[in-house]
Amino acid sequence: MKPAVANWLKFAEIDLRAAKVLLEEGGLATVVCFLSQQCVEKCLKALIEFKGINPFKSHDLIMLYSHVDDMMKLEEDTLAALNQIYIDARYPASLGTLPEGPPDAEDAKNFYEFASEVYSRINMALQASEERKNSQCG
């Protein structure tokens, strides 16, 4: 695996692990949602890098996903909701709101589970691709 791809996945894993700790601690739903968004963003950037494209300097999950949707299908409504969390969580006035208001523990759990699934699926797909590549070379 190219070092840049591995680095994106490593940093995605760190965000995911931090989100898990905060989710278990409770009371930090907005931060868990933000870290879940960051994990998904970095996973998508790993796929973009894998395709040989320099990852875009953007946090827009829908735009990033549009460059890899031929490789993996993801729930676009959840990506859009995570986009909203990212934008709003960066500014204290809104504190990371969804259309229904600030995220609660259930939102945090759902976004964490989505990020965890995205990370697992992308990591497994890239590992499998690497294994196929190595078996063809050997």
Q: What are phi and psi of 105, to 5 degrees?
A: -60, -35
Per-residue pLDDT, 134? 73
Grade residue 93 by pLDDT with cuts at 50, 70 and 90: low
**pLDDT value of position 109:** 97
Own/partner pairs, 95-104, CB within 8 angstroms, 24+ separation: 95/30, 96/30, 96/33, 96/34, 102/29, 102/30, 103/29, 103/30, 103/32, 103/33, 104/29
CATH number of 3-137, picked from 1.20.120.330, 3.40.50.620, 1.10.287.130, 2.40.50.100: 1.20.120.330
Does residue 124 register a pLDDT over 60? yes
Residue 101 has pLDDT above 90, yes or no: no
Q: Is the pLDDT of residue 97 over 70?
A: no
- Across the chain, mean pLDDT equals 89
pLDDT for 35: 95
In the chain, where the domains are located: 3-137
CB-CB contact of 65 with 76 (8 Å): yes
98 φ/ψ angles, rounded to the nearest 5 degrees: -110, 170
Higher-confidence residue of 16 and 92: namely 16
d(CA 135, CA 132): 5
pLDDT (0 to 100) of residue 138? 58
pLDDT tens string 6-44 = 999 999 999 999 999 999 999 999 899 999 999 999 999
What tens digit of pLDDT does each residue of 70-86 get? 999 999 999 999 988 87
pLDDT of 94 over the 80 cut: no
pLDDT over 70 (residue 92): no
